[in-house]
Amino acid sequence: MKKISILVLVIGMLLIVFSGTAFTQVVLKIAIHTDFNREGFDKYLEEYTKLNPNIEFEKIAVPFEDYLTKVSISHMSGNAPDIYHVYSLWGVDLVKSNVLDMPPQDIRNDVYENYERVAVDGVTINNEIWGIPTEIDNYCLVYNKKILADSGFSEPPKTWDELINVAKECTKYDKAGNIIQYGFVFLAGWESAVVHPYLSLAYSNGASFLNEDKTKCIINSPEGIEALEAEVKLFKERITDISGSVWDFPNGNIAMMIMAPWDEGNLKGTMGDDYQYVGVAPSPVMKEPATLLYTWFACVDSKSKYKKEAWDFLRWLTGQIQADKRTTRMGDYLVEKIGAIPSRKIDIDNHYDELFDQYTKTFVQELKYSIAEDNIYNGAEIKITLMNEITNAWLGEKTSKQALDDAVKAINAILSKD
Amino acid sequence: MQRYPLKILLRKKSIVKSKFKFRYQKIAYLYLLVPIIFYLIFIIFPIGFSIFISFRRWNMLEPVLISRFVGFKNYVDIFKDPIFLRALKNTTSYTSFILLLGIPLSIIIAVLLSKLKRNAFLRYVFFVPSIVPLISIGMVWAFLYDPTWGPINIILRAFKFPTSQWLWDTKTAMLSVTFVGIWATLGINILISYMGVKEIPLNLYEAAEIDGCNEIRKFFYITLPLLKPVILFLMVINLINSFQIFDLVVGLTGQKLAEPGGPANSTQVLILYMYHTAFKYLKMGKASAVAFILFLLLFTTSIIFLKSFGKSKSENY
């Protein structure tokens, strides 16, 4: 009896062991930031699992401001996600620290041949493509047609000098001299918010942020200083102040702002019928049309146990053209759920109706003037340094020249460290 | 039954006693082993590791052992950084206001409360902010301070008083944060002071009254000296908490302003600087150096307080 029990036990254990090896469940951990985690994303994960029953997903949604921290800590702890969706500026730090896996050659070829040039630039680090671009974001002038019309303007400004004049007419004050209706407000709240519109204006004035080989910051050129002084003028003439916020635009007391395409959903959702008064125009130029563009890209962790499965999933999500719509699933998700511009050419071509709507059309048209953000090591620290100096100039703590000279000194010290 | 001489009996008794004492101590050490191991793993090791990485350039993305040793460079870089110096100045000024204004105010209010027969409701009112998380207090006050929509400016405008940009003006931002800090910590400081005041025997005040002392003299010659241990406790606790201010600043400035610590770093504080250095710039070595400098500052200041105020240990009533 005892021998039979032992035999049954051994057979049972063998069955358990071999049944496990016959069907290995792969759990792919995918980390995205919360603004990217909209309704509909899970649908793609479920669809892929139906096609590949041995693959499951664990989705980790992290607020944007905590995303890089999450990547760092989870990589350090050995518990890193398999798939990331990262902001292109973080790419250099991640590549330099061997966090990212080099994409397979077919994916790199596909990105090079089938994506917008600026998007390819965004994922190129040290002349290599390190991920699959997803959304691309540039900047345009978003304005309230009703406020402009009430102030006597039927068209938005085309140049920065025109913007200052229009903003002056649209700004209203209370008896104590406080601004109650802003002619213009600046985007603020994080480093990109302050730096991107400034760099767009500086590029429009013919300035460059870095030299050719990206070893020195040269934004304190006369053109760069002129561009910052153009922004500062709005503060000096009390057309705007730092307490004005773009998030108040739906309240109907802001005439103009420089904004990215991803705000469409927010404006539609909060403005209701007043959304009809939202207009989008190219960013006012100083010398020539230009705007800054930044990218997000999907990539795989270098220490992932399931690199092949991760890249296969990303191939399916971003590269497989759906026969009926002639778009990719990622393209559908970006356009329909996020309100962002996809970076694959076929998605831009075949989402015509959604992309060429009241809001996004101008952003797409301005892609030809968009300049990709420079991918540099310590990019976050460099941008925060520039943001601090821009804010110092806005607030009159420093002149534009002093602010940019100090920014360049600090940034060059950061660039020369590694 | 064997009989022993007294000497041997006493010696046996002391042997038994020390054997028992040794066994008792062994058991005590065994019980202490768990918290000691816990302390070593979760307190001593992280402190040691933090000091270790403060001498290295490490970004958390690569193994720490392959990070570059840079000696004291992180410490030198910190003191060359104008934002660190701003953070140090802001934190010191915030702490000074808490210690020099917040604590005296709480003592005065505690003494006044002790004079009232029915003071439970008032004690409650003062104490409530102390149980609300500072981050929540910060977020609410950010709205109150809003220059356009905030009730403070609306009320000031209604009474034709001058308004301010509060958190949105570099000149008033840190003062606005400090005011909220004092308000938020008043409750707990009042409660502790009140308990201290209640411990003072009433007969001392009666004797003083008989001798013709007025209230002011009673306060300075009876209440304050006997509150010294309480004051010392409040100063050390508030010093430590104030130097580590973080959540209040994030709550007040982290929403609409350009980065918590803004505008233009006018509300930058040490812990926020350390947090940005570690998790935004990925410079764990430099952040650890900031942590160690903060530790030295707090340790030195606490020792100075204890030495200055602790001298009067023997003073009692």
Give the model confidence (pLDDT) of B135-188 as tens digits: 999 999 999 998 878 899 989 988 988 888 899 888 899 999 999 999 999 999
Contacts of residue A93 in chain B, CB cutoff 8 Å? 59, 61, 282
Q: Are strands A341-342 and A132-137 parallel, antiparallel or unpaired?
A: antiparallel
Q: Quote the minimal CA–CA distance from B178 to chain A in Å.
A: 20
By C-alpha distance, the chain A residue nearest B258 is A189
Contact yes or no for B259 and A93 at CB 8 A? no
Does B61 sit within 8 Å of A76, measured CB to CB? yes
User: DSSP 3-state assignment of A55?
Assistant: strand
Give me the residue spans of the domains in chain A: 25-137+293-371, 140-291+375-417
Nearest to B61 among A75, A247, A392 (CB): A75
Asked if A98's CB is within 8 angstroms of B258's CB, the reply is no
Beta-carbon contacts below 8 Å between A and B: 91
What is the architecture of the domain spanning A140-291+375-417? 3-Layer(aba) Sandwich (3.40)
Domain extents for chain B?
Answer: 6-53, 73-314
Query: Which long-range contacts (C-beta less than 8 Å, at least 24 apart) are formed by A351-358?
Result: A351/A327, A358/A278, A358/A279, A358/A280
* List of chain B residues whose C-beta atoms are within 8 Å of the C-beta of residue A379: none
Least confident of A232-236, A290-294, B23-27, B255-259: B255-259
Cβ-nearest to A178 among B83, B163, B255: B163
Among B148, B157, B160, B174, the residue to mutate for chain A (most A Cβ within 10 A) = B148
Confidence band for B314, pLDDT divided at 50, 70 and 90: very low
The answer to whether residue B99 scores a pLDDT higher than 90 is yes
For the segment B233-250, what is each residue's pLDDT rounded down to a tens digit? Answer: 999 999 999 999 999 999
User: Is B39 strand, coil or helix?
Assistant: helix
ipTM over 0.90: no
Query: For residue B62, what pLDDT band results from cuts at 50, 70 and 90?
Result: confident
DSSP 8-class letter at A270: H
The Cα B236–Cα B306 span in angstroms is 8
Instruction: Give A187 to chain B, closest Cα distance, Å.
Output: 9
Fold match flag (A25-137+293-371 vs A140-291+375-417): yes
pLDDT computed for residue A60 by the predictor? 92
User: Rounded distance, CA A78 to CA B48, Å?
Assistant: 22
Longest dimension (CA), chain B: 103
- Using a CB–CB cut-off of 8 Å, the residues of B that contact A are 59-62, 83, 146-148, 153, 157, 162-163, 165, 168, 170, 255-259, 262-265, 276, 279-283
C-alpha distances in Å from residue A360, one per residue of A60, A282, B304: 29, 11, 63
Q: Would the CB atoms of A68 and B279 count as touching at under 8 Å?
A: yes
pLDDT at B12: 62
A76 touches chain B (CB under 8 A): yes
* CATH class of the B73-314 domain in this structure: mainly alpha
Q: For residues B212-240, b (16+ Cβ closer than 10 Å) or e, as one string?
A: ebeeeebeeebbeebbbbbbbebbbbbbe
Of the residues B49, B53, B61, B275, the best mutation for testing chain A's interface (the one with the most A CB atoms within 10 Å of its CB) is B61
Most B-contacting residue of A243, A384, A398 (CB-CB within 10 A), to test interface:
A243
- Name the residue among B163, B263, B281 with its Cβ closest to that of A176: B163
pTM (predicted TM-score): 0.81
Q: Splitting chain A (418 residues) into consecutive groups of 10 residues, what average pLDDT does each group show?
A: 74 64 78 83 94 93 86 83 92 89 96 93 91 94 96 95 96 85 87 92 96 93 97 94 86 93 86 93 95 94 94 96 94 89 94 88 92 88 92 92 96 85
Two structure tokens written together for B5: 């001489």
Partnered with residue A84 across adjacent β-strands are A31, A299
Distance from CA of A322 to the nearest CA of B (A): 37
Give residue B316's pLDDT band: very low, low, confident or very high (50, 70, 90): very low
Architecture category of domain A25-137+293-371 in CATH: 3-Layer(aba) Sandwich (3.40)
